[in-house]
Chain A
Amino acid sequence: MSGATGGTAPRTTPRHRVVITGLGVVTSIGTGVDAFADGLRAGRSGAKPIGAFDTTGFAYSNACEITDFDPGAWLRDMAAEELGRAAQFAVAGSRMAVADAGLTEDDVRARRTLVSVGTTDGESRDLDHLIGLQVAEGEDRLDATVARRVWPGRLSAGIVRELGLEDVETVTVPTACAAGNYAVGSGYDAISSGDVEMALCGGADALCRKTFTGFYRLGTIAPDVCRPFDADRQGILTGEGAGILLMESLESALDRGARIYAEVLGYGLSCDASHPVAPDRDSIARCITAAHRNAGIEARDVDFISAHGTGTKANDVTEVGAIRQVFGDELPRTVSIKSMIGHTMGAASALAAAACSLALREGFIPPTINHRTTDPECAVDCVPNKAVEARLRVVQNNGLAFGGNNAVLMLGHWDANTADNLPADAAAAA
């Protein structure tokens, strides 16, 4: 074991290598891994006028909404009305991830599992509905069916109930817009330490008036589309969906001959502890460095960065500044899939992790669409508008959130036919 142990405390127990073998995605550019992969390669846009709530009075109101989701297709044990839209997305993503991993739900039931789902808003869409009733019909008006499903624990508990899992740790991680990376990171630690054999981790969120209104009021909603890193970028489009990753130990995946999308090399966390909404360059750089150290890699190993890349003035300049602080002048290509699927909040970094996994497996970099002129203040090769083919070994996935909550995930290529899979060193270090 080499000295690079990552973080501030020595690890004390042998670690398992952790791989991603199943992906479940619900997005505005496609549901299911094949449709999502096609959408990423084609640079599809999920932007459209909002139908989720009445937008009268707003000067503009596009979002990346999912218009073809049928909860009944994914729920077996529970009635659709027992789960809010975010939890429904999470259940659908989990069922897809299990099937995509070539597993049956009985296989998952037979293993000790972690289910960890990140979210920003939980079922705030339902809370919007409940307060709407109070406003319209009186303070005492309550829709009890909806009231029972609003608590964020349901996002993970719904998956567990639907899959009939029993030997499982069930946790929701409401760490805002980086929550997906937090959930995947906790899954990595749980598997690598041997606490669990398998993990279903990711994030889910549903469009809601509350969050659209908040971002609109802050002046950070784009009038038309999201253009990360563009000189004329005007902000985010809110989005929705779920990304769930099925993770297991490398031994487990090899034993059952599973297809491996990617290896989870490690992750880093940091907190700005300075401002509730404005990102902090030094803190983000510290998070990136922590992730590299935890993964046992160097900045020069990174082949592309999936940026948080919201397309706001502040985020893109600060984030690229932080990347530059770590990487110097030789920046890897830095893309934002939010240009395609919008800002899916707690699902964002989980869906980006799914996109990175596909990119590593299939050898391409997803584009940043809607791009015209790169802003010199955040000058990166954002792979404008068209995906590129690329042989990739290490990919970095950034997630930044309100509360100054940063999480950076490192994924590596896995190829059963070559002996030089990159994290050999990282694994030894761990």
Chain B
Amino acid sequence: MSADAVTTAQDLVVSGWAVSSPYGLGRDGFTTGLREGRRAVATLDSEQWPVPYDEAGLIPGFDIKAVLGRKGTRSMDRVTAIAATTVGMLLEEYGTGLAADPESTGLVLGTSGSVQSIMDFTRDALTGKAPYLVDPARFPNTVMNCPTGQSAIRHTLKGPNVTVSGGAATGLLALNYASRLLRGGHATTLLAGAAEEFSVQRARLEQVADHGGSAAEPLGEGAALFLLESGAAARDSGRTVLATVLGCRFRAFRSTGRASAVLKSCIDDVLAAAGRGPDDIALIAPGTPPGVFGKEEKVALDGFAAPRLAVRPLIGDTTAAGAAFQLAAVLAESAARPELADRLALVTAVDRDGTVGAALIRLG
């Protein structure tokens, strides 16, 4: 097992990150909250949110116009605002020089859009004076790439603009999609991550979903985004390498009982590809899905001694953004503990529709 800690020019690195989470906007609250183990899920106002849940992990006081201003927000929906806000924070803190080359800078965002926007639009069609009397300005909100496209418009990102979706594995799928775009020469720098909103309709749908035999757990919302580029590009831009992406691997299970075995294979594969072993892993951020899915993930991770960072119990089920928040938690922990530099972290996901994924990163 080599311990090559030198970042080569071809390595894909994370050189910045930003979060909007139930701890508030920004990395500081997220980092402190997670490290204190403080639960950010709170009681819901049932007047405002008529949903079959008592609690949720909402971004505290998130108000679209207060955060983004009045311009361009009249018809903006919540998930789009969450995405655009987080993209803005990432660029503000880490994006020096990117504005000079907007055509080489893109966004790969994991999201399934807003079921609330889609259903509201059809509700207007069904309840208006005529079936076509809908607000045309809200039509783009009903297409799932709206958060991705709108974020590009607000922040002039003219490179590849891609929306991906895959349940609990979404964040890792977005990371891998972005890695391929960079390796394929389609962009120099990509913002990659995922976003999710809390809404009445999402809550109604999620409540009856498959939770692996358990009751539905509280939902959360937010976004986590990462700046991804080659080690050389980071160096040229004067950005610090926060982590190096060593690999992502995915598999599928048809029967739930296979989930642990296929996830274990993914972990073994990313370790083997990186020339590393289980003892090199210093940190694990599992998805901790409910019911049998969580049990399967736990079994797959049984042989690994590294401490676990459990994000979901603290911020709620952020579905599309879940795995991105797990990666953000790893970076938060790494920033707070410099001794983790050059050690490995593992992020895992088990999705109810049959996807498992593992991402291996080197810290520092």
> Which A positions have Cβ atoms within 8 angstroms of B?
5-13, 55-58, 77, 119-122, 124, 127-128, 130-132, 134-135, 139, 142, 144, 147-148, 150-154, 156-157, 160-161, 164-176, 179, 182, 186, 189-190, 192-193, 195, 209-211, 213-214, 216-218, 268-277, 283, 286, 290, 294, 401-405
Cross-chain contact B125 with A209 (CB below 8 angstroms): yes
Q: Given A11-B185, A147-B204, A152-B144, do A168 and B125 touch, yes or no (CB 8 Å)?
A: no
Q: Map CB proximity to A onto B117-154 as digits: 1 under 8 Å, 0 otherwise.
A: 01111110111001111101001101111101110110
Cross-chain contact A176 with B122 (CB below 8 angstroms): no
Q: Given A210-B142, A217-B136, A273-B102, do A7 and B186 touch, yes or no (CB 8 Å)?
A: yes
Cross-chain contact A153 with B185 (CB below 8 angstroms): no
Cross-chain contact B153 with A276 (CB below 8 angstroms): yes
Instruction: Tell me which of A153, A190, A218, A277 has the highest count of chain B C-beta atoms within 10 A of its own C-beta.
Output: A153
Q: Given A153-B167, A189-B183, do A8 and B262 touch, yes or no (CB 8 Å)?
A: no
Q: Which residues of B contact A130 (CB under 8 A)?
A: 119, 205
Nearest-neighbour CB distance to chain B for A247, whole angstroms, equals 14
Q: Which residues of A contact B126 (CB under 8 A)?
A: 131-132, 135
Cross-chain contact B158 with A273 (CB below 8 angstroms): yes
Report how far A257 CA is from B211 CA in the complex, Å: 45
Instruction: Tell me which of B132, B159, B233 has the highest count of chain A C-beta atoms within 10 A of its own C-beta.
Output: B132
Q: Given A124-B142, A168-B251, do A57 and B123 touch, yes or no (CB 8 Å)?
A: no
Cross-chain contact A277 with B140 (CB below 8 angstroms): yes
Q: Which residues of B contact A186 (CB under 8 A)?
A: 177, 180
B182 on the interface (CB 8 Å rule)?
Answer: yes
Q: Given A144-B208, A269-B162, do A171 and B152 touch, yes or no (CB 8 Å)?
A: no
Cross-chain contact A135 with B127 (CB below 8 angstroms): yes
Considering only residues 52-93 of chain B, those with a C-beta below 8 Å from chain A are none
Q: Given A213-B131, A214-B142, do A168 and B161 touch, yes or no (CB 8 Å)?
A: no
Report how far A190 CA is from B250 CA in the complex, Å: 13
B7 on the interface (CB 8 Å rule)?
Answer: no
Report how far A81 CA is from B104 CA in the complex, Å: 43
Cross-chain contact B153 with A124 (CB below 8 angstroms): no
Q: Map CB proximity to A onto B187-228 as digits: 1 under 8 Å, 0 otherwise.
A: 110000000000001001100111000000000000000000
Nearest-neighbour CB distance to chain A for B157, whole angstroms, equals 6
B240 on the interface (CB 8 Å rule)?
Answer: no
Nearest-neighbour CB distance to chain B for A136, whole angstroms, equals 8
Q: Given A182-B162, A195-B180, do A213 and B153 touch, yes or no (CB 8 Å)?
A: no
9 CB contacts below 8 A, A to B, read: A127-B115, A132-B122, A144-B208, A153-B351, A157-B354, A157-B355, A193-B180, A216-B132, A270-B158
Q: Which residues of B contact A6 (CB under 8 A)?
A: 184-185
Report how far A10 CA is from B122 CA in the complex, Å: 46
> Which B positions have Cβ atoms within 8 angstroms of A?
10, 50, 102-104, 106-107, 111-113, 115, 118-123, 125-127, 130-134, 136, 139-140, 142-146, 148-150, 152-153, 155-167, 169-170, 173, 176-177, 180-188, 201, 204-205, 208-210, 230, 233, 250-254, 258, 262, 351, 353-355
**Whose C-beta in chain B lies nearest to the C-beta of A173?**
B164
Cross-chain contact A11 with B183 (CB below 8 angstroms): yes
Report how far A269 CA is from B251 CA in the complex, Å: 27
Cross-chain contact B145 with A7 (CB below 8 angstroms): no
A128 CB contact (under 8 Å) in B111, B122, B132, B204 = B122
Q: Which residues of A contact B120 (CB under 8 A)?
A: 131
A271 CB contact (under 8 Å) in B130, B161, B165 = B161
What number of residue pairs across chains A and B have CB atoms under 8 A from each other?
Answer: 274
Q: Which residues of A contact B149 (CB under 8 A)?
A: 176, 271, 276, 402-405
A176 CB contact (under 8 Å) in B111, B132, B144 = B144
Q: Given A5-B185, A151-B112, A283-B158, do A166 and B258 touch, yes or no (CB 8 Å)?
A: yes
Report how far A207 CA is from B158 CA in the complex, Å: 30
Instruction: Tell me which of A11, A134, A213 has the highest count of chain B C-beta atoms within 10 A of its own C-beta.
Output: A213
B187 CB contact (under 8 Å) in A7, A10, A127, A168 = A7
Q: Given A128-B122, A170-B252, do A57 and B183 touch, yes or no (CB 8 Å)?
A: no
Q: Which residues of A contact B233 (CB under 8 A)?
A: 9
Report how far A140 CA is from B326 CA in the complex, Å: 33
B136 CB contact (under 8 Å) in A210, A214, A270 = A214
Nearest-neighbour CB distance to chain B for A284, whole angstroms, equals 12
Q: Which residues of A contact B155 (CB under 8 A)?
A: 273
Report how far A175 CA is from B177 CA in the complex, Å: 13
Nearest-neighbour CB distance to chain B for A109, whole angstroms, equals 11
**Whose C-beta in chain A lies nearest to the C-beta of B72?**
A276
A173 CB contact (under 8 Å) in B107, B162, B187 = B162
Cross-chain contact A57 with B153 (CB below 8 angstroms): no
Cross-chain contact A127 with B122 (CB below 8 angstroms): yes
Cross-chain contact A77 with B254 (CB below 8 angstroms): yes
Q: Which 3 pairs across A and B sit closest by C-beta, in order of nearness?
A: A403-B149, A7-B185, A174-B144
Nearest-neighbour CB distance to chain B for A263, whole angstroms, equals 16
B152 CB contact (under 8 Å) in A5, A161, A286, A404 = A404
Q: Which residues of B contact A271 (CB under 8 A)?
A: 106-107, 149, 152, 157-161
Cross-chain contact B187 with A161 (CB below 8 angstroms): no
Cross-chain contact B205 with A147 (CB below 8 angstroms): yes
Nearest-neighbour CB distance to chain A for B219, whole angstroms, equals 14
Report how far A68 CA is from B252 CA in the complex, Å: 31
Report how far A402 CA is from B287 CA in the complex, Å: 32
New A-B pairs, 13, CB < 8 Å, besides A10-B185, A132-B122, A186-B177:
A7-B186, A7-B187, A77-B254, A122-B112, A130-B205, A131-B119, A153-B355, A156-B166, A174-B143, A174-B163, A271-B159, A401-B145, A403-B148
Nearest-neighbour CB distance to chain B for A314, whole angstroms, equals 14
Q: Which residues of B contact A160 (CB under 8 A)?
A: 252, 354-355
Q: Which residues of A contact B150 (CB under 8 A)?
A: 276, 403
Nearest-neighbour CB distance to chain A for B73, whole angstroms, equals 13
Cross-chain contact A269 with B158 (CB below 8 angstroms): no
Cross-chain contact B132 with A174 (CB below 8 angstroms): no
Cross-chain contact A127 with B131 (CB below 8 angstroms): no
Cross-chain contact A213 with B144 (CB below 8 angstroms): no
Cross-chain contact A269 with B145 (CB below 8 angstroms): no
B153 CB contact (under 8 Å) in A150, A195, A273 = A273
Q: Given A271-B161, A403-B161, do A276 and B254 touch, yes or no (CB 8 Å)?
A: no
Q: Which residues of B contact A192 (CB under 8 A)?
A: 184
Q: Given A210-B142, A403-B148, do A169 and B176 touch, yes or no (CB 8 Å)?
A: yes
Cross-chain contact B153 with A209 (CB below 8 angstroms): no
Nearest-neighbour CB distance to chain B for A360, whole angstroms, equals 23
Report how far A193 CA is from B115 CA in the complex, Å: 35
Cross-chain contact A174 with B152 (CB below 8 angstroms): no
Nearest-neighbour CB distance to chain A for B259, whole angstroms, equals 11
Cross-chain contact B132 with A57 (CB below 8 angstroms): yes
Q: Given A9-B187, A213-B132, do A151 and B127 touch, yes or no (CB 8 Å)?
A: no
